[in-house]
Amino acid sequence: MHTPATHAPDISPGMVRLLAVSAGLIVANLYYAQTLVGPISAATGLSTQAAGLIVTLTQIGYALGLLFIVPLGDLLENRKLVFTALLATAAALAAAAVSTNAWLFLAASLGIGLGSVAAQILVPFAAHLSREETRGQAVGKVVSGLLLGIMLARPAASLIADHASWHAVFGAAAVAVLVLAFVLRSKLPQRVPTHKLSYGQLIGSLWHLLATTPVLRRRAAYHAGLFGCFSLFWTVAPMALEGPQFHLSQTGVAIFALVGMAGAVASPVAGRLADAGHTLPATAASLILGIVGFALPLYQPDSRPLAIGVLAVASIILDMAVAANLVLGQRAIFSLGAEVRSRLNGIYFALFFAGGALGSAAGAWVYAHYGWTAALFTGMAFPAAALLVWLGELFGRPQTAGKAA
């Protein structure tokens, strides 16, 4: 006999596809500049020492947006919030496209990061529109689109810049985001939260949610470890591939990055496992895959094609681990209540993005001072530390086994 929840309307496949494509297009804006730092710096007169600000300011904008804009999804009508954020993002991308000086481009970079948090308003949207028993699958498919956007952005930017210019990359992105804004305004249903909090009370509640929600703290710790090693890998691997051992061109590195996209297939699988109540063991599998992804390249065969193949397999394994664990985490925190989903999602992403920033910085420093093998061991340490947290949960809270962790 079916429960009444079974008869509740569920999210349509078409809406899932729209949200997945939208999330991918939006989050890609964060990564276009990463492979274009050199030509952008040369064109805008930015010094070599300050070139890192191009990426850093985008990340700072995104972190600020996660903490101060995404929580508004629990307060304001969501469709209007997404539309406004995307209009601002399109304007920032257009400013980047026409930039001829460093200050304008850096200001645009900050704006691109701030506006691109619209993707993290759409992911909870999928959870709101889904039934409890299918929520993990829906979120998993949307996260697959988000991850594909992350993985495609860098190679796409490199290839477009090679055949046109870096200005064309940001100009095309501005048009795409502007069109997307009006598509989503037309297609998304309205969602008006029931909260009557002021904005100050809403932001003030973030610390209370973090302090009183152990599931959020655990999931953030797990994914900070995995996103840290993911960021480390994609910071260091391109440098290694362009180095004396592999001698790959920029286009070769772009093709290598495309191979890693195969890892996104893990997202829907993880969603089904979470819906079936297997979050705890699936989390362990993700963390172990993260360790394996760095252990595998420690085998360095003399054959250059074989060595590149080993590294490609490692990238797929690592991307699978990150894709799966992200869905497991969001499925767990989205089960805590519709009225706090946007705030929980903002805190979750802000915390694990901090892990990603630490991974990028540590990877670049270790690689520069101690080389490729040391960077691999450093990358391995991130998911290993998260696995220790998981073991603490397993032995300290055995009653959570089989439930959202």
Non-local CB neighbours of 293 within 8 Å, separated by 6+ positions: 229, 233, 314, 315, 317, 318, 321, 379
Non-local CB neighbours of 2 within 8 Å, separated by 6+ positions: none
**pLDDT at res. 48:** 62
Q: What is the mean pLDDT of residues 310-321?
A: 92
Q: Which of 139-143, 306-310, 380-384 has the highest mean pLDDT?
A: 380-384
- Average pLDDT value over all residues in the chain: 87
Residue 59 sits at φ, ψ, to 5 deg, of -65, -40
**pLDDT at res. 7:** 54
> Is the pLDDT score of 163 beyond 70?
yes
CB 318 within 8 A of CB 288: no
> Is the pLDDT score of 403 beyond 70?
no
Q: What is the mean pLDDT of residues 247-256?
A: 78
More confident residue, 385 or 401: 385
C-beta contacts of 105-112 below 8 A and 24+ residues apart: 105/40, 105/44, 105/46, 105/54, 106/46, 106/53, 106/54, 106/57, 109/33, 109/53, 109/54, 109/57, 109/58, 109/61, 110/57, 110/58, 110/60, 110/61, 111/61, 112/29, 112/30, 112/58, 112/61
Question: Which residue, chain included where needed, has tokens 């930017």?
Answer: 157
**pLDDT at res. 223:** 95
**pLDDT at res. 159:** 85
CA trace torsion 380, 381, 382, 384 (10° rounding): 90
Do the domains 12-193 and 197-405 sit in the same CATH topology, yes or no? yes
By percentage, how much of the chain surpasses pLDDT 70? 94
> Is the pLDDT score of 5 beyond 70?
no
Q: Please, what is the angle between helix 135-163 and helix 166-187, to 10°? A: 150
Token pair of 151 as six digits: 């993985």
Domain 197-405 grouped into CATH 3.20.190.10 = no
CB 93 within 8 A of CB 177: yes
Domain residue spans in the chain? 12-193, 197-405
Distance CA 127, CA 344 (A): 13
**pLDDT at res. 11:** 83
Non-local CB neighbours of 170 within 8 Å, separated by 6+ positions: 32, 93, 94, 96, 97
Return the amino acid letter for 306.
L
Question: Which residue, chain included where needed, has tokens 């969603």?
Answer: 271
**pLDDT at res. 400:** 41
More confident residue, 158 or 292: 292
**pLDDT at res. 379:** 95
CB 292 within 8 A of CB 387: no
CB 261 within 8 A of CB 321: no
Residue of 195, 199, 180, 203 lying closest to 82 (CA atoms): 180
Token pair of 213 as six digits: 């929600």
Q: pLDDT by residue (tens digit) across 32-89?
A: 987 787 788 889 988 766 766 787 788 889 989 999 999 998 888 999 999 999 999 9
Q: Which of 91-105, 149-163, 268-282, 299-313 has the highest mean pLDDT?
A: 91-105
**pLDDT band for position 340 (cuts 50, 70, 90):** confident
> Is the pLDDT score of 405 beyond 60?
no
**pLDDT at res. 380:** 96
Q: How far is CA 43 from CA 37, 153, 158, 391, in A?
A: 10, 21, 16, 50
**pLDDT band for position 374 (cuts 50, 70, 90):** very high
Question: Where do runs of H (alpha helix) occur along 118-265?
Answer: 119-129, 135-163, 166-187, 199-212, 214-242, 250-259
By percentage, how much of the chain surpasses pLDDT 90? 44
**pLDDT at res. 174:** 98
> Is the pLDDT score of 399 beyond 50?
no
Distance CA 41, CA 44 (A): 5
> SS3 letters for 247-300?
CCCHHHHHHHHHHHHHHHHHHHHHHHHHHCCCHHHHHHHHHHHHHHHHHHHHCC
CATH for 12-193, options being 2.60.40.1120, 3.20.20.80, 1.10.3720.10, 1.20.1250.20: 1.20.1250.20
**pLDDT at res. 71:** 92
Q: What is the mean pLDDT of residues 239-248?
A: 80
Q: What is the mean pLDDT of residues 78-103?
A: 96
Residue 87: Cβ-neighbour burial (10 angstroms; 0-12, 13-18, 19+): middle
Q: pLDDT by residue (tens digit) across 200-234?
A: 988 999 999 999 999 999 999 999 999 999 888 88
**pLDDT at res. 4:** 45
CB 274 within 8 A of CB 143: no
More confident residue, 386 or 252: 386
**pLDDT at res. 398:** 47
**pLDDT at res. 402:** 38
> Is the pLDDT score of 106 beyond 50?
yes
